[in-house]
Structure formats: C-alpha cells, structure tokens
C-alpha cells in the first residue's frame, strides 16, 4: 500500500507503505479503481445494496399497534362496549380516559422515535469506499455488492467480503465467534460484518450486503427501541402477573354476585359489575412506564446523547462503579507536542518524526500531534510499516533515507520498549508525574516483521534516540463530573493504557480519591479473586491492555458491582461490550460506537450526570406511580371479595371509580412520572411497591367497607346515599396515600394534592356535578363517619410508611 507525501503535511516524494490518497492504493488490478458511478447505479437499481436500515426505534405503525392493541385495552374496551349498550354515558367515562392515555403514549413515543432516528444518523459510522478511482466516505446503507472498501484501526466492518490487500491487519471477531483474540488476516481471507479492526489496514471487496450479510439481523435487532431486559419492566411484568391472578377469581365472583343481588334490575347489575371490574385493571402503569422512558430519550437527545438501547437509561442510574478511560474521556482526544529531548546527536529527529507521521494513514491522537508539529521530510521513502497496537504499545516504519541508507524506527511507550531500570525511564516518569504523555523514538537494529512476530525482542533491538513529550488537555467538565459521581456514591476507576504515573497525575489534578497510588496493570495478579481485590481497593490503573480492561470489569461485576465503562478507542471495545453499561464518544472509533449502549455524540463527558439523573427520574417516578396503581388494584379486589361475601350491591358505579381513579391516580401519576427525581436507584423494586400497596389497599378497602355498611344500616336501601358515603371514604383514603407518595414535598406537589382534593369537593357541592356523578351526601352522621374511617386508615398508613422507610434506611 502506498502514500503520497504531496498531501497536506507531505512532500513530493512517495512512501511505499501504510496508506494514502493517491491511486493505486492497492496492488495494480482491475479492482484497484473500484466501481464506476454507472456500475454503482446499476447495482442500486437491481437491489444489490446494503439496504438494512439503521433502526434506532420502532416504526410508527409498530408504535401505534403496541400502544393500542394491548391486553389491558382489550379488557377495558369490552367493558366500555357493555356500558355503552346499557348506559348512561357518564358511566362510560373510563373509556375516554383510556383513549386519551393511549394517544398521549403514541404521541410521546413517536416524538422519541424521531429524536432517536435523527441522532442515529449523526452517530452512524461511514465507511470509506473506492469509486471511480477516488476514495470517498459513504453511509453504510449506500454500500453495494463488489464495492472496494478501506479498512483501518477502529473500523467496524459493515458488510461481508474478501480481502484483496492487507497490511498487518488484525480483526476482532469476538462479537461473532466469542473468541477474544484478534485474528491476523491476509489477502484472500474473508471478513465478516460485525467484526472490527484492532490493528493494521486493508482493502476488501463486498461479497454479501444487506440482509444477506452475516451480522445484519443482529445489528438491526440490537438498535431497536425496546424495554427488553429492563429490570424495571421485568418488575412491572411480575406485578401484572400478580394482578392477573388476583382479579380473575375476584372478578368472576363479583359478576355472579351482582347478577344475583340485582336480579330485578339487570342494567344496574351490569353497571355495578363493571364498576367493580374497571379499577382492578392497572390500565395506566405500562403506559406511564413507556411514557417516562420516551420523554427521557427526548430530553437526552437534546443534549446530543444517543440511547442505542433504551434500558441503558435505567441501567446507568443503577451503576455503583464507573470505569473511565483517560484519553478522550478525562482528557480531550487532541494533544500537543510540548517538548522533544534528543538523545542521539547524529539523528535528524525532526525528519524521522515527520516521516513516521506521513507513513501512517490512521494516526492516533499522539501521532496526530506529531504530524501537526513536524512536516513530512523530502526524500524519505517508506519501505515497510508496523501499525500501532494497544497490546504492543508501539508503531514503526522502515525507510530509505535521502542518503540511500536504510533504517527502521519505532515510536511508542518507553516502559514497553526499554528494559526495566533503564535511565531513560526515570526521565520519562518525571514528565509523566506532571501529567504528560511521553513517547520514545528509537532506531531498530532488526527488521520490523521480526519485531512484530516477537515483540519481546524490542528492548534488545532498539537504540533510544529521543523523548517526545506530549501535553494532554484535561476536559474542563471532567472535575465537576467526577465530583458528581462521588457525591452520588458512585466509585470512579480510571483504567488507561498510558503510563501509570502519567494517569495518576491527571487523576490527581482532578482530585480523584486514590490518585496518589496509581497501579501499573502489568503487576496485577491473574487470579480472579486477587484481581478483584486489587481493582476494588485502587482507583487509578495504567498500562492496562484491552483484555485486562475486560478482566477488570468482570472482576468488579463478580463482587456484585454494577459497572459502567466509558471509552472512545478500539482498545476499549471489549470492556465496553462486557460492562453493564457501555458509554462511547461520538468521535470514537466506529467499533466503539457500535457496541456502546449510550453514545455521547458531542463527546461531552459532562452529559453522563444527565443520563444518571434521567435514569433515576424514570426509576423513582415509576415506583411512585406503581404504588398508586397497585393500591387501586388491591382495594378493588378486596372490595369485590367483601361484597361477594356480604351478598350486597357493589357500592360504586363506573363513573365513581373513574372520578376517584382520575383524581387520586391518573392525573397525579402523569405529573409524578415526569417530575425530577434524584433518589438513587435501589434493588427490589417489586418488594418495595408491595410493601406499600398491600397495606394501603387493605386499609382503603377496610375504611370503605366500614363506611358503606354503616351507611346501609342508617339509610335503609338508599343506594345513592350509601354509594356517596363509600365514595367519600375511598377518595379520602386514596388521597392520603397520594399525599404520602408525593413526598418529599415541593410547592407544586403540595398544590397537586390540594387541587385534587378541591376538585372532588367541587363535585360534591355543585348540583349539576352531583347529578352527573350521582353523588350526594345525606345528613351529617354518615359523612362524618366515612371521613373518620378514612382518617383512621390514613394514620395507620402513616405508621406503616414510617416503619418501611426506617427499615429501608437501616438496610
């Protein structure tokens, strides 16, 4: 592979090595120029194009079907039709509420879909393709069969193909085969979509595109807008299963009882039956869960944060440990050469550095800083290259110099290229202690292919020629972000491939606890238990290899930690893939963005607290509203059982349960589900919900039953007056439960509870509303008794709540 040096930063000479813009880029062949524009158009017209859509969300049709055609909507729909038949219209209000909720859910999810789709286009990887003899960048969906595609370090392979040229190419196929070790590839070998390049370069011809490609279905499915594998959603599913088991027998018994008790008035029996069944169904719980996630996606999208897997919002809120790669996360990806210390007077250091920069088509951040400082020299011809590898930590090239002399040069980490105790390491460490990155320029006495075959031979084969000191730019937002994690009880671990002393200096500048004790990962034990101890006890690690990063994430997970990993380079891919939550940078390698669940498109590390806060808002608020919905289900089931045993008319019509449900659950839950919430996510979601909902539902049922049967003894078959007393008792108890769930109070939460209470009071005093809802309190004794029952139930619930919170804080 060849590169022209008359490109920006180059000269008029040509280097016969790693890459460039001038054709021929590959060995001369009919394929060297790639397809022509006409050939591309012919393949597109015949459908031989990589047409797998980049799907970050469900289609609009799927969203409508998922929100409309649900089991709960089917149950409510049947009950709605029954009420429409028997009338009156006010008893069918619950149908309108369900329809409104469904439309809101569809609107919000479509809105989230548009946000996701727009962000996915921004974050999409764009392969480099040769066409008409020119290399251009295209969308992965624009690749056609027989396209000639460039590969370089960090690239994600978008389609299947056959290599026609390879330059020390190493491909990670672990996402397809499970094998973590990179595979060396040569011309004629196959490459598969879904794998990525860890070192070297190459060119391949696309042989299978679109849905025929090996990983196409996997890639498409991985980007779906879904709640699958969400701990929160799994917990809600368990709650709904419990509800189903409870309401089926209770509902059947209630139907039989109401038909027997009201045998002389069939329409009234049907209304009372529906009034008992409707509140048993937690109709808004799943809807509000989806709604909260969808709103979260939109909020994060405004901060240029792409959520590729929806549960990641929830998952990052649960993490207790975040592993940070230094470069690109704590520091900016771009760097500057600060100083060069020549060690050999006869070496033209500036020319060698310029030639090394020109010989590498895919420079990393360090080499890019060198390229910006040292232009390509005249007369240097490249004969061979050794691409940079995170495992080796050096790169190199062999040249024919202007004098005709042949030489080989390496550029990399001093502590991996020199023997332990070498005097140059002391100088390198002194710069590292100031947070600088130090590279060693060395002349090799052995050919590059021998050193690639046996990297352990490097220390005995090199002559140090210069130290290159590179200044790293610390991200201005890094300190505040680390402080946020510390305040939230989330441990931060810096895991970097750089020199441990340098990493420790950067971390110390950010005031990370434990930064004064940086650990060289090469000294870490291999035993899993010992490794877990070391990773738990320390905060800063340097010289960490890609496989070690993965092992360290696994070690933390083995101790019960929920781990998030951030990174931008190909050396972070394995750890990102295994972490509970992987966070990639928008400017990172395509492979990194492909495996990350969350991508920070603007590379703003300060967005992470927003993601954590959004996850906590979703989890905390859904727990709040789940308490309300399940409380309603429990008191409805218990009331049905009481009525069945007593063989009495059910105390409520559908309009009454719609009124109570709207004011104590429906309207408040909508606001509570979308409100700010900074409570840290905790395990045992289902257990906490049941610990509140069961006693709250039981107390509401008890207070309502006492008030109802007391009213029956006083009013002597005045069913409207009996219903009014029962409705008052149930509303006041449910409002008290809402007041507890709304804590801690803010002005708007106090106002929300007060407005709900005021709305019910208006219904009781306005004659037209009294008639509409068939509610009218009669006398003084029964209404005050109903209120007293609600107060007693509320006070007992306060005791239960206080004990529950105390148990939680003690735990």
The rounded average pLDDT for each run of 10 residues, N- to C-terminus, in the chain (811 residues) is 35 41 40 76 83 61 77 77 79 73 74 67 71 82 86 81 84 64 81 80 85 57 43 75 75 79 74 77 74 78 76 78 81 82 88 88 82 88 83 86 88 87 84 85 88 85 89 83 85 86 85 87 88 91 84 90 83 82 78 79 79 80 86 88 86 86 87 78 78 92 93 84 92 94 90 95 91 87 93 93 75 53
- For the domain made up of 335-471, the CATH class stated in words is alpha beta
DSSP state of 127: -
List, as own/partner pairs, every contact residues 3-10 make where C-beta atoms lie below 8 angstroms and the sequence separation is at least 24, other chains included.
3/358, 3/359, 3/361, 3/382, 5/358, 5/376, 5/380, 9/357, 9/358, 9/371, 9/372, 9/375, 9/376, 10/358, 10/375, 10/376
* Beta strands at 563-567 and 321-324: parallel, antiparallel or unpaired: parallel
The partner residues of 14 in beta bridges, in order of sequence, read 4
Phi, psi of 107 (to 5 degrees): -60, -45
| Size of the chain, expressed as the number of residues it contains | 811
Report whether 161 contacts 154 (CB < 8 A). no
Query: Which residue in the block uniquely carries the two structure tokens 């006869």?
Result: 346
Query: Which residue in the block uniquely carries the two structure tokens 């606001």?
Result: 671
User: CA dihedral in degrees (782, 786, 789, 795; nearest 10)?
Assistant: -130
Q: According to CATH, where is 3.40.1110.10 located in the chain?
A: 335-471
Report whether 439 contacts 414 (CB < 8 A). yes
User: CA dihedral in degrees (691, 693, 698, 702; nearest 10)?
Assistant: 130
**CA separation for the pair 290, 622 (Å, rounded):** 10
Query: Which residue in the block uniquely carries the two structure tokens 């009481």?
Result: 642
Cα–Cα distances in angstroms (integers) from residue 496 to residues 424, 545, 565, 587, in the given order? 22, 8, 12, 18
Report whether 12 contacts 6 (CB < 8 A). yes
Any idea which fold 31-54+124-222 has?
2.70.150
Query: Which residue in the block uniquely carries the two structure tokens 């106090």?
Result: 750
Report whether 688 contacts 623 (CB < 8 A). yes
Q: Is 664 helix (H, G, I), strand (E, B) or coil?
A: helix
Please name which of 478, 484, 513, 479 lies closest in space to residue 678, comparing C-alpha atoms.
484
Q: According to CATH, where is 3.40.50.1000 located in the chain?
A: 305-330+476-603
Q: Per CATH, the architecture of 226-297+616-810 is what?
A: Up-down Bundle (1.20)
Q: Please give the pLDDT value at position 213.
A: 66
User: CA dihedral in degrees (787, 788, 790, 793; nearest 10)?
Assistant: 180
All residues at 6 or more sequence positions from 437 whose CB lies less than 8 Å from its CB, including other chains: 335, 366, 469, 470, 471, 472, 498, 499, 502
Q: According to CATH, where is 1.20.1110.10 located in the chain?
A: 226-297+616-810
DSSP 170-215: EEE-HHHH---S-EEE-TT-EE-TT-EEEEEEEEEEEEE-GGGSTT
Report whether 20 contacts 361 (CB < 8 A). yes
**Cis amide leading into 744 (omega within 30):** yes
b/e string for 41-53 if b means 16 or more Cβ within 10 A? eebeeeebbbebe
Q: Where are the beta strands (DSSP E) in 247-300?
A: none
Q: Write out the H or E segment, with its range, that includes residue 51.
A: none
Residue 325 annotated among the catalytic residues of the structure: yes
Report whether 305 contacts 298 (CB < 8 A). no
**CA separation for the pair 440, 451 (Å, rounded):** 16
* Beta strands at 128-131 and 148-151: parallel, antiparallel or unpaired: antiparallel
User: CA dihedral in degrees (387, 392, 396, 398; nearest 10)?
Assistant: -100
Point out the catalytic residue in the list 155, 172, 325, 580: 325
**CA separation for the pair 282, 96 (Å, rounded):** 16
Half-sphere CA count of 419, side-chain side, radius 13 A = 7
3-state helix, strand, coil in the chain (%, to 5): 55, 15, 30
Please name which of 396, 489, 488 lies closest in space to residue 446, comparing C-alpha atoms.
396
Cα–Cα distances in angstroms (integers) from residue 423 to residues 107, 112, 427, 429, in the given order? 67, 58, 7, 10
Q: According to CATH, where is 2.70.150.10 located in the chain?
A: 31-54+124-222
Q: Please give the pLDDT value at position 366.
A: 84
Counting runs of H as helices and runs of E as strands, what totals does the chain give?
Answer: 30, 23
| HEC profile of 596-644 | CCEEECCCCHHHHHHHHHHHHHHHHHHHHHHHHHHHHHHHHHHHHHHHH
Rg of the chain over all Cα atoms, to the nearest angstrom: 34
Any idea which fold 305-330+476-603 has?
Rossmann fold (3.40.50)
Q: Environment class of residue 527 by beta-carbon count within 10 Å: exposed (0-12), middle (13-18) or buried (19+)? A: exposed
């Amino acid at each position: 592979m060849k590169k022209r040096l008359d490109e920006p930063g180059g000269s008029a000479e040509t280097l016969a090595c790693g890459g460039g813009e001038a054709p021929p880029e590959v060995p001369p062949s009919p394929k060297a120029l790639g397809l022509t524009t006409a050939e591309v158009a012919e393949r597109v017209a015949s459908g031989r194009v990589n047409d797998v859509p980049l799907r970050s969300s469900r289609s609009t049709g799927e969203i409508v079907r998922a929100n409309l055609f649900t089991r709960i909507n089917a149950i409510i729909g049947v009950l709605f039709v029954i009420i429409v038949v028997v009338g009156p219209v006010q008893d069918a209000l619950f149908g309108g509420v369900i329809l409104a909720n469904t439309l809101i859910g569809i609107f919000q999810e479509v809105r989230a879909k548009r946000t996701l789709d727009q962000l996915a286009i921004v974050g999409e990887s764009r392969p480099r393709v040769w066409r008409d003899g020119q290399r251009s960048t295209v969308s992965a969906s624009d690749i056609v069969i027989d396209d000639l595609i460039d590969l370089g370090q960090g690239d994600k392979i978008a389609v299947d193909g056959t290599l026609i040229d390879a330059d020390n190419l190493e491909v990670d196929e672990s996402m397809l085969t499970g094998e973590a070790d990179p595979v060396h590839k040569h011309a004629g070998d196959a490459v598969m979509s879904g794998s990525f390049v860890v070192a070297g370069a190459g060119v391949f011809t696309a042989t299978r595109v679109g849905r025929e490609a090996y990983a196409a279905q996997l890639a498409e499915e991985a980007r779906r807008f879904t709640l699958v594998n969400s701990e929160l959603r799994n917990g809600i599913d368990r709650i709904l299963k419990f509800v189903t088991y409870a309401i089926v027998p209770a509902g059947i018994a209630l139907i039989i009882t109401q038909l027997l008790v009201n045998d002389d008035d069939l329409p009234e029996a049907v209304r009372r039956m529906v009034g008992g069944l409707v509140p048993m169904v937690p109709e808004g719980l799943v809807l509000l869960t989806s709604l909260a996630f969808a709103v979260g996606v939109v909020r994060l999208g405004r901060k240029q944060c792409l959520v590729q897997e929806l549960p990641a919002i929830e998952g990052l809120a649960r993490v207790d440990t975040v592993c940070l790669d230094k470069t690109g996360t704590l520091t900016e990806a771009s760097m500057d050469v600060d100083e060069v210390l020549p060690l050999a007077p006869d070496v033209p250091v500036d020319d060698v550095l310029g030639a090394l920069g020109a010989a590498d088509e895919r420079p990393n951040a360090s080499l890019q800083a060198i390229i910006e400082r040292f232009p390509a020299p005249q007369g240097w011809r490249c004969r061979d290259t050794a691409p940079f590898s995170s495992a080796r930590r050096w790169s190199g090239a062999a040249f024919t110099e202007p004098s005709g002399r042949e030489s080989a040069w390496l550029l990399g980490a001093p502590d991996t290229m020199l023997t332990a105790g070498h005097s140059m390491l002391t100088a390198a460490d002194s710069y590292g202690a100031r947070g600088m990155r130090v590279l060693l320029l060395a002349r090799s006495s052995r050919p590059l292919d021998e050193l690639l075959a046996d990297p352990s031979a490097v220390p005995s084969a090199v002559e140090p020629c210069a130290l290159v000191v590179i200044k790293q730019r610390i991200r201005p937002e890094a300190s505040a972000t680390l402080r946020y994690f510390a305040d939230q009880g989330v441990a931060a671990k810096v895991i970097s491939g750089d020199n441990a002393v340098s990493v420790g200096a950067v971390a110390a500048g950010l005031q990370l606890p434990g930064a004064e004790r940086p650990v060289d990962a090469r000294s870490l034990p291999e035993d899993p238990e010992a490794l877990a101890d070391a990773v738990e006890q320390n905060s800063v690690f340097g010289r960490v290899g890609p496989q070690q990063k993965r092992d360290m994430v696994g070690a933390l997970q083995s101790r019960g930690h929920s781990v998030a990993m951030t990174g931008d380079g190909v050396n972070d891919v394995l750890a990102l893939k295994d972490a509970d939550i992987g966070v990639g940078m928008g400017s990172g390698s395509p492979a990194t963005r492909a495996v990350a669940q969350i991508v920070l498109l603007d590379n703003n590390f300060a967005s992470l607290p927003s993601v954590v806060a959004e996850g906590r808002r979703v989890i905390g608020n859904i727990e709040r509203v789940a308490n309300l919905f399940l409380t309603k289900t429990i008191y409805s089931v218990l009331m049905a059982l009481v009525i069945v045993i007593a063989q009495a008319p059910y105390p409520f019509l559908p309009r009454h349960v719609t009124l109570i449900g709207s004011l104590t659950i429906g309207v408040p839950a909508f606001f509570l589900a979308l409100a700010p919430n900074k409570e840290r996510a905790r395990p045992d979601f289902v257990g906490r919900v049941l610990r509140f909902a069961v006693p709250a539902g039981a107390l509401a049922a008890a207070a309502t039953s006492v008030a109802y049967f007391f009213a029956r003894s006083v009013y002597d078959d005045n069913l409207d007056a009996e219903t009014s007393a029962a409705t008052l008792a149930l509303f006041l108890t449910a409002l008290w439960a809402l007041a507890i769930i709304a804590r801690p109070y803010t002005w708007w939460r106090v106002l929300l509870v007060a407005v709900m209470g005021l709305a019910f009071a208006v219904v009781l005093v306005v004659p037209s509303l009294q008639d509409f809802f068939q509610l009218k309190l009669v006398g003084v004794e029964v209404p005050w008794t109903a209120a007293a029952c609600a107060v007693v139930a509320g006070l007992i619930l306060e005791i239960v709540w206080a004990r529950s919170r105390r148990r939680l804080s003690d735990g």
